[in-house]
Chain A
Amino acid sequence: MAQPSQATDGMDSVPALLQRNATRFGDEPAYREKEYGIWQCWTWAEAEKEIEALALGLINLGVNEGDFIAIIGRNRPHFYWSMVAAQSVGAIPVPLYQDAAADEMAYVMDHCGARFAIVQDQEQVDKLIEVQEGLHQLEHMIYVDPRGLRKYDHHKLHRYIDIQEQGRAAYYEWIEDLKARREKLTYDSVCVMLYTSGTTGKPKGVVLSNRNIIEASKSSSEFDKLTRDEEVLAYLPMAWVGDFIFSIGQAYWCGFCVNCPESPETMQTDLREIGPTYYFAPPRVFETQLTNVMIRMEDAGKLKKWLFDYFMAHARRVGPAILDGKPVGGMDRLKYALGNLFIYGPLKDTLGLGRVRVGYTAGEAIGPEIFDFYRSLGINLKQLYGQTEASVFITLQPDGEVRSDTVGVPAPGVEIRISDTGEVFYRGPGTFEYYYKNEESTKKTKDSEGWVATGDAGFFEDGSGHLRIIDRAKDVGKMADGQMFAPKYVENKLKFYPNILEAVVFGHQREQCTAFINIDLTAVGNWAERNNIGYASYQELAGNPRVLDMIQSHVEEVNRSLSDDPMLSHCQVHRFLVLHKELDADDGEMTRTRKVRRGVISEKFEDLLGALYDGSREIYTTTEVTYEDGRKGSISATLQIRDAAVVPVETAKVAAE
């Protein structure tokens, strides 16, 4: 195992970085948040004071070193301060997904034994109160937004600003203690604990040390030449490792400003106003944005639409090459510049991506059309491959070597090896310490030499040396005839169509592949409106024969493209149906990060799955659904099952054998 790296200039913890930033560029903006329609700003010096007051307040409240503090809220400066304040007093911040149901929260809270929780509002307080019975260790709750909480019993409930106020009042009493606790932090102390939702089983608490976070932040910042002048918009869940790296790790390492949106719904407007230079979004966000652009262009005037089509075609042709700095003719460049003036520039500004210098997407495969669309506009969108256990970065795409079907080269300091079974392993300075209270999983995932199993199957491409990920290693199955079955690969191909929101492909141990499909209500709804198709609900639209025709044509196109790939031509979808409900995390069909839970789905819709393979033309079914408030109901429908044309694979088979 490689020698553990040492901290540069004594910067061995996030609080230490905060001190450095407050001293070195105290007057520069550290946080912005839009509230009451105005961007409020805190400089590094101000942020340091806020965090110090909170840290003193926490000591005053009785927080001990080694305590866990749950943090539940949307991206607001208060919660980022809470994390750093927790670290400053030697406690461990545990950010949780704020949209998790009460019992999911209860599991995590109980597992880490959090004594304190800093939460957003009444909704979160209510959830914790609901499960408090089972949480013997939870002592105090601190809330930010007092609305509706006035009448609550305040013995164990505190308002955020009151805690800060108490901290300020008790300054002389605790400041020495606080300083001492900060001094004790080392590169090996725990920086944060993040729970991975995981597609199966209970969440695991990933323990990341200061070394993990700071080394990962440092090397990735250098990789993309991030500076103090970056602007980022923090809008992705705080419980997700990416947000922790971008909004705390890299932000503190580089000293750039973190902007928090006014509310989740205003994110698009806020994005436009801030104009981030460094931006991360999962493929889904890029997809939605592109869908919206396309819908708006459908409604636009003829001239505008013509201009858009004309210049976009040009951009697709030469845009990526210009971005990569490859030689492009003068005339094409001129035309591109013209397009930039009329179309690309205004469009990028509308999307809020006009200033993006480095953009990343990860988490799932992104559709090549979507990826190329953004790149052709001149947005430097790249892919990375990462995990919570790696402090995000496993591979990154260097500028100029960007493609939609690879995830790039190993991140600085990270080693990668492919096992005999095709699974990807890595190790590096960002590699996590252990799973909290779960030695078994730790051992299973991370071997004695520090190699971590990703659970993904992939290979290094000849020539470019870039990593290509095919599927989850455990999802890669075998069909009845023993050929490789890679469901996610097919699903992604299907999902690249804007009309298809989700797809679940079956085929393990079967003769042929079949699929469940979820339509995208926005895209298909818009199409329906333009074609005068009336519908009252998702279910009605999903059952419309013309919608089915459309989906069928998409499936058949996918089949044609699959037939070109000798490795996967047998994975063509023979039969499919469009589900009568949207797959939903509340019903357990997906994870909170919106990954489909194959097992749950095939069990829950067993009857439908059966129908896909017994040749029936339609099937009647009833399904239980959970509403947002936790109540249950049921919906029933008669679903049609369609046969999709497949390209004969005999030739391919022969070639493979």
Chain B
Amino acid sequence: MNDMTPDGYTTEDGRKIGGVVMEMRNITLRFGGVVAIQDISFDIREGEIRAIIGPNGAGKSSMLNVISGFYHPQEGEVWYKGAKRPTMKPYEVARQGIARTFQNIALFEGMTVLDNVMTGRIRQMNAGLLSQAIWKGKAEREEVENREVVEKMIDFLEIQHIRKTPVGRLPYGLKKRVELARALAAEPSILLLDEPMAGMNVEEKEDMSRFILDVNDEFGTTIALIEHDMGVVMDLSDRVVVMDYGKKIGDGSPDEVRQNQAVIDAYLGVAHD
């Protein structure tokens, strides 16, 4: 990308993208003898929609799990907001403002939609156990304030009608939306989406794309998503990292990536979908 500066760049549709918020430096991840990620570096900038794509088994999910602290790379460094991140547990990463969704949806099935989304606010709620036990003072205030944020997200994702429904009873597409609402309720610095379109039909994919764009537009949220459906990603993202067999084979704007020979080869080598 030519107009790339340390301070950011301007996208085709005129959005101002800020500086680097997260940087992966020479990440290598091995499971036993299998190399899942090999020496990969890239950055994520404030306000952009950054995609990591690649065929199945390319190591995308592993990369997302490294970012969210579920996996710990053997080599390489994760830099977040200008500082090197020490090895962290997933919940600590979450508390730093990195929210995520899962490919297979990880919601609290027995809890209502409202309660699920409320758990997204845990980071912002810090009333003591005692205050909670008597539900007075800080705890009460906190509960009300956070409920307001949560209601905005519920409104945003148009799930008001299922507010009090236990998540376990919802169909797949709605669960995806609830999970997104929960992640958004955390008001994250970075939102990680793990194959947000997986298992969706064309119409649902379009809806989801709209939501992702609207999130970015409305809240200025930095979004990193992984996806194996090229088409969707190219329309959605500002910059794309392409992975294949654990290596990075391309990085740049969708147009640049599309013309990249290594990417073309990799994608011709596998079945499209």
A36 touches B217 (CB 8 A): no
Of B15, B147, B154, B206, the contact of A629 (CB 8 Å cutoff): B206
Of B15, B148, B164, B214, the contact of A147 (CB 8 Å cutoff): B214
| Alpha-carbon distance between A546 and B83 when the two chains are bound, in angstroms | 67
**CB neighbors of A among B137-177 (8 A):** 147-148, 151-152, 154-156, 158, 160-164
Check: B235 CB closer than 8 A to any chain A CB. no
| Alpha-carbon distance between A147 and B155 when the two chains are bound, in angstroms | 11
Q: Which residue of B lies closest to A268 (CB)?
A: B161
Q: For the complex, count residues of A whose C-beta is within 8 A of B.
A: 16
Of B15, B152, B163, B214, the contact of A148 (CB 8 Å cutoff): B214
A37 touches B163 (CB 8 A): yes
A263 touches B160 (CB 8 A): yes
B161 touches A265 (CB 8 A): yes
Q: Which residues does chain B contribute within 8 Å of A632, judged by CB atoms? A: none
Instruction: Return A273 CB to nearest CB of chain B, in Å.
Output: 12
B151 touches A36 (CB 8 A): yes
Of A35, A148, A263, A628, the contact of B213 (CB 8 Å cutoff): A148
Check: B273 CB closer than 8 A to any chain A CB. no
| Alpha-carbon distance between A148 and B210 when the two chains are bound, in angstroms | 9
Contact A147/B218 with A36-B148, A37-B154, A629-B206 known, Cβ cut-off 8 Å: yes
B161 touches A269 (CB 8 A): yes
B interface SS class: helix
Instruction: Return B144 CB to nearest CB of chain A, in Å.
Output: 11
**CB neighbors of B among A19-46 (8 A):** 35-38
Q: Which residues does chain A contribute within 8 Å of B214, judged by CB atoms? A: 147-148
A151 touches B14 (CB 8 A): yes
Contact A262/B160 with A36-B148, A148-B214, A150-B217 known, Cβ cut-off 8 Å: yes
Check: B265 CB closer than 8 A to any chain A CB. no
B160 touches A151 (CB 8 A): no
| Alpha-carbon distance between A628 and B161 when the two chains are bound, in angstroms | 21
B158 touches A263 (CB 8 A): yes
Q: Which residues does chain A contribute within 8 Å of B155, judged by CB atoms? A: 35-36
Q: How many A-B residue pairs have CB under 8 A?
A: 43
| Alpha-carbon distance between A629 and B155 when the two chains are bound, in angstroms | 23
Q: Which residues does chain A contribute within 8 Å of B217, judged by CB atoms? A: 148, 150-151
Check: A266 CB closer than 8 A to any chain B CB. yes
Check: A172 CB closer than 8 A to any chain B CB. no
Q: Which residues does chain A contribute within 8 Å of B203, judged by CB atoms? A: 627-629
Instruction: Return B236 CB to nearest CB of chain A, in Å.
Output: 14
| Alpha-carbon distance between A346 and B174 when the two chains are bound, in angstroms | 30
| Alpha-carbon distance between A173 and B162 when the two chains are bound, in angstroms | 47
| Alpha-carbon distance between A269 and B159 when the two chains are bound, in angstroms | 13
Q: Which residues does chain B contribute within 8 Å of A148, judged by CB atoms? A: 210, 213-214, 217-218
Instruction: Return B174 CB to nearest CB of chain A, in Å.
Output: 10
Check: B3 CB closer than 8 A to any chain A CB. no
B151 touches A37 (CB 8 A): yes
Of B14, B156, B160, B210, the contact of A37 (CB 8 Å cutoff): B160
Q: Which residues does chain B contribute within 8 Å of A151, judged by CB atoms? A: 13-15, 217
| Alpha-carbon distance between A36 and B147 when the two chains are bound, in angstroms | 9
* Leading 5 A-B pairs by shortest Cβ distance: A265-B161, A36-B151, A266-B161, A37-B151, A262-B160
Known contacts A37-B163, A148-B213, A148-B214; 8 additional CB pairs below 8 A are A37-B147, A147-B156, A150-B218, A151-B14, A151-B217, A263-B161, A265-B160, A266-B160
Q: Could you give 8 example pairs across A and B, Cβ below 8 Å?
A: A36-B151, A36-B154, A37-B160, A148-B214, A148-B217, A151-B15, A628-B203, A629-B206
